[in-house]
Chains A and B, each alone.
Chain A
Amino acid sequence: MSKIPSKVCQQIPYGQRRQPEITMNLERVPNEEKLSLCRKYYLGGFAFLPFLWLVNVVWFFREAFVKPAYTEQLQIKTYVKRSALGLLLWVAVLTTWITIFQHFRAQWGEVGDYLSFTIPLGIP
């Protein structure tokens, strides 16, 4: 009885268990495809989707700045940089707006209520 668990372990060796594929592993994608992916994400971000830029920056950071040089790296680098810039811009704008809104919502009264998606209960 007590041996059953160890048999389970035996069937799926530990080393193999760590291996299962991460579906979009950049390691296994050819460089041209990396570039096209990075470009798609960069362009997609212009559709008011800053999260695409965030993903782009995080995902391709190693490819752009850490990996040894390869042909497409220069372009990837530009896309990543621009994505990062756009992302920063978004963060700045959103932070400013959220701060202003949270600070002045109660003071704005009617306008504040109409701008709110959920109105907090029990406070002005």
Chain B
Amino acid sequence: MRPELAKTAIILIFSWLQNGAAGNSVEQKIYVELNHTVPCVRLLNATHQIGCQSSISGDTGVIHVLEAESDVDWVLSSGPNPPYMVLMEANFFNRAIMMRMKGSPRVAGVAVVIPKSGPPQGFSPHNSCPNEGTGVYSDSYGPELAGCNSTVWNPLGNSLSYENFNFPVFSLNDDNETEVIRKCFREHNVVRNGSSPQFPLCAMQLYSHMHAATDTVTCMRRNNIQNSFSVTPEVVCDAINDYNVWGSVHPLNNSAKGHKEGESVVIAAARIDGRSFFWDVAPSAEGAVAGFVTLLAAAHALRRVTVEAPPTRNILFTFFQGETFDYIGSSRMVYDMENGKFVINLDNIHSLLEIGQVGLRSGSRLWLHSDPVSRRRNSSVDAEVEKLVSNLQSVAKNLSLSLAEPNVSQPLPPSSFQRFLRARPIPGVVLADHQSAFNNRYYESVYDTAEHLQVTYPPGLSPEEQLEYVTDVAKDLAEVATLVARSLYLQANGSEANLPSITADPMTVTQMLYGFLVQSNNSWFQALTSPDGFTLEPHPLQYYVGVSGPPRPIKVTTRLVQYVLANLTGTATNLTQSQCQNPENLEGENKELWSYLWVRGSVSSNSSQGEAYCVRASVRLSKAVSPAFELQDYGSRDYSTWTESRWKLIRARIFLVASRELEMLTLGVGVAVLLVSLLVTYFISSKADLLFTSSREPTSTTY
């Protein structure tokens, strides 16, 4: 009898527990999860922390939608139910309002609704003088040019991205989810006839608790302490890093680092990263893509001529990663060159041509920026720059482009070239579409998208048709690419007679623009990339450099640039897949000179699978980790020290809250019930003899 009773009890308890586990459904009834949100996260450098963070258990506040200026006062002073969670349209997301929010204890957090296109007057949350501390200009190098004294490059920049907020800031897309929030707000929180809204009110809770604090020095020290003393080491921040991509016209022996005797190299550079206020949102169409696509197209245009009529100098194409964060990629490459850890060193560099922002030119005009200080100080550098400029100008004459030099006393715009100049005076030019201030009204913002660059397609085209549709901007960039390619060929001592045969292909440019800006999941990218390790997605790529290194893989945009460059400059071989992985002992193949990439190949009409093959190209990755982390000098003033904090939970949800009084009442009643039950139990147990013995006597007699 008794075991059976126990069994029933166990089953009862078990089913009750199961109900408890299914308490998730209660959670679902209370909360509405918001899945399409992006947080602003904490980044740190040698001296500061920037970004946003919530408390460890999330920040909750009553939602208030900013629709007019008066709503700001409601949130900051007059509203009766602080703290408020502010839902704002993008036009309120400016410095003035955000700084007022920052100073108020009545703000629990901010959610910004990001529209498809940016405000016409422009918006840039970046600094007005990007990377001013780590460029070449300083008190000892052109002090009159330091800190954007003479030219403000990004006058629209309001530095919001470099502020530290002690509340969470999330971005929302303008979609159904945002409509749910608005509906909840309208139904519960709207002020009607001047009377304050009645409970229950609609509230939002945002979680974005960051582990790192103060600055990189502190967080790296905590990483080290945790690693050496703690049983369960918990890393609090990671250095922002990834990989540079480089390729050369003549292969360079990768196993022999340092100075290459007799090698004279023209460097052609571009950057491949950007950022915005929010984490991992960085479309950077004009900021990065236009420039590196131009350089890729130029590299492609040079492929044939450099085989048939090789120029005497080598051309090195470099794609720098992490330039937004104080020139991580270029400073590392220069550091490696100085320390004999790169395939060439600084002595091998003949000159440098950098492609800046080139996608938004007005008319046919492009600008050649050079460094006034090195030209003034060093006459041979001045002569070389003159030559480079005249090369570019002579090439431009045959194209529908006109090149001009800005005012002689104007410094270089923010560019990787500045990091080379910090090491030594190298002749070089930065090609850009702006004379002084950027043409880019959305510099390092979420609005620097394909639409901003005018990569748009006539309505009704299928993705495949869009991929093949040559846009006007593709034609323009192809022209710039032709200019770059021919100038590089001249600069590398190629014969002028061969110039007409060097032309960038607008079709390739348009395909690249489609892949890098609209969606990476397209047949062209599929054909160019390896069958594994690539996740191509049907939405735009983001160029925030992020944190790579084991166990996290190399950033997909870096790998795409690597594979596209390899395919555009390399040669298809007939090696098998295993030979491709290890071409060590094969005739004519050399792992030191080339890298070998196995790619899918294009899909023909009669088969669903492409003919995969092995590409041999002189294209490689090199580390883009700031030298500060190599030197363990986390307070460095010379090198980038940016780190990204780690976090456990990013989450946003809305729900209805009761008034504080009701909450307290519920709690009070609960506590009272507990106390009463304790008292009752005590009395029953103290009078147990009385209560139970009397009833026991008769039953025992029946036994």
Contact = CB atoms under 8 A, between A and B. Distances in A.
B498 to A, nearest CB: 60
A14 to B, nearest CB: 6
A55 B618 CA distance: 76
Given A4-B1, A14-B689, A119 B226 contact: yes
A122 B2 contact: no
B699 A113 contact: no
B53 A119 contact: no
Nearest to B702: A3
Interface of A: 1, 3-4, 6-7, 9-10, 14-15, 109-110, 113-114, 116, 118-119, 121-124
B480 interface: no
Interface residues of B, number: 30
B703 interface: yes
A113 B688 CA distance: 57
Given A122-B56, A124-B214, A3 B221 contact: no
B692 A113 contact: no
A94 B344 CA distance: 61
Contacts of B693: 14
A10 B5 CA distance: 19
Given A9-B696, A14-B688, A122 B703 contact: no
B211 A10 contact: no
Contacts of A4: 1-2, 5
A122 B53 contact: yes
Nearest to B700: A10
A114 B693 CA distance: 64
Nearest to A118: B230
A121 B688 contact: no
A10 B696 CA distance: 8
Contact of A14 (B209, B213, B692, B699): B692
A122 B218 contact: no
Contacts of B221: 110, 113
Interface of B: 1-2, 5, 53, 56, 209-214, 218, 221-222, 225-226, 230, 234, 236, 645, 688-689, 692-693, 695-696, 699-700, 702-703
A73 to B, nearest CB: 33
Nearest to B648: A121
A3 B699 contact: yes
Nearest to B230: A118
A3 B225 contact: no
B222 A122 contact: no
23 contacts: A3-B699, A3-B702, A4-B1, A6-B695, A6-B699, A6-B700, A9-B696, A10-B696, A14-B688, A109-B218, A113-B218, A113-B222, A119-B222, A119-B225, A119-B226, A119-B236, A121-B209, A122-B53, A122-B56, A122-B209, A122-B210, A122-B211, A124-B213
Contacts of A10: 696, 700
A71 B696 CA distance: 48
Given A1-B1, A113-B221, A122-B53, 13 more contacts: A3-B699, A3-B702, A4-B5, A14-B689, A14-B692, A14-B693, A109-B218, A119-B236, A121-B234, A122-B56, A122-B209, A122-B212, A124-B213
A121 B226 contact: no
A2 to B, nearest CB: 9
Contacts of B703: 3, 7
Nearest to A106: B214
Nearest to A120: B213
A116 B229 CA distance: 10
A14 B230 CA distance: 51
Given A4-B2, A9-B692, A113 B209 contact: no
B633 to A, nearest CB: 15
A113 B225 contact: yes
Nearest to A5: B5
A116 to B, nearest CB: 8
A116 B236 CA distance: 15
Nearest to A7: B703
A106 B2 CA distance: 61
Nearest to A1: B1
A42 B402 CA distance: 95
Nearest to A116: B225
A121 B234 CA distance: 10
A121 B2 contact: no
Contacts of B702: 3
A121 B1 CA distance: 56
A121 B225 contact: no
Contacts of B218: 109, 113, 124
Contact of A121 (B5, B56, B214, B695): B56
Contacts of A114: 225
B689 to A, nearest CB: 6
Contacts of A118: 230
A119 B688 CA distance: 51
Contacts of A119: 222, 225-226, 236
Nearest to A6: B699
Contacts of A113: 218, 221-222, 225
B235 to A, nearest CB: 11
A43 B211 CA distance: 45
B545 to A, nearest CB: 23
A123 B55 CA distance: 10
B393 to A, nearest CB: 55
Nearest to B646: A121
